[in-house]
A and B are shown apart, each in its own frame.
Chain A
Amino acid sequence: MAEQKMNFFDKMQALDRRYIYLVVALAIILPLVIPFNSRTYVTEPSENIYKKIDSFTGRKDRAVLMCFSHDASTMAELFPMEVAILRHCFQRNIQVFTICFIPAAKPLMDYALQTAKEDYTVQSGVDYVNFGYKPWGIFLPIVLGMGDDVAKAVETDDEGRIVSNLEIMKEIKNYNEMNLVIDFAASAAVYIWIEYARARFGANVAAGVTAVMAADNFPYLQTGQLIGMLAGLKGAAEYEKLVDVFATHKEMVNGVETVVPREFSKEVIKDSWIKLSDIKNPVYKTARIGMNAQTVAHIMIIVFIAVGNIGYFVNRKKNKN
Chain B
Amino acid sequence: MSFEAISNFVAAFFTLSIFSFLYKDNPFYKFAEAMFVGVTMGYAIPLVYYNTFIPFVYRPIFIEHNFIILIPALMGSLYIFRFSKNLSWLSRYPIVFGMAIIGMGVPLSMHAYVLVQMRIAMMPIDNINTFIIFVGTITILLYFFFSKAHKGVYGKITNIGIWYMMVGFGASFGYTVMARISLLIGRIQFLMGDWLHLMK
Chain A residues close to B by CB (< 8 Å): 18, 21, 24-25, 28-29, 32-33, 35, 73-77, 103-104, 106-107, 132-135, 137-138, 140, 156, 191, 194-196, 198-200, 210-212, 214-216, 219, 222-223, 225, 231-234, 277, 282, 286, 289-290, 293-294, 297-298, 301
Contact = CB atoms under 8 A, between A and B. Distances in A.
A210 B179 contact: yes
Nearest to A31: B185
Contacts of B108: 195-196, 199-200
Given A33-B198, A135-B48, A289-B189, A77 B181 contact: no
Contacts of B119: 223
Contact of A211 (B43, B47, B113, B178): B178
A282 B192 CA distance: 13
B101 A140 contact: yes
Contact of A77 (B56, B105, B176, B183): B183
A298 B181 CA distance: 9
A272 B108 CA distance: 43
Given A133-B47, A137-B52, A289-B199, A77 B117 contact: no
Interface stretch (B85-93, B138-146, B147-155, B167-175): B167-175
A234 B182 CA distance: 9
Given A76-B182, A212-B175, A198 B112 contact: yes
Contacts of A212: 172, 175-176, 179
Nearest to A215: B172
A195 B113 contact: yes
Interface residues on B, range: 35 or more
B176 A294 contact: no
Nearest to B43: A103
B175 A215 contact: yes
A294 B175 contact: no
B192 A232 contact: no
B40 A104 contact: yes
Given A33-B192, A140-B101, A223-B117, A232 B178 contact: yes
B105 to A, nearest CB: 7
Interface string B40-54: 100110011001100
B1 interface: no
A266 to B, nearest CB: 19
A200 B172 CA distance: 30
B184 to A, nearest CB: 6
B168 A215 contact: yes
B199 A32 contact: yes
Contact of B200 (A35, A211, A215): A35
B30 interface: no
Contacts of A76: 182-183, 185-187, 189
Given A73-B183, A298-B178, A298-B181, A195 B112 contact: yes
Given A32-B192, A134-B51, A223 B175 contact: no
Given A73-B183, A194-B112, A219-B117, 5 more contacts: A18-B23, A25-B188, A103-B47, A211-B176, A214-B175
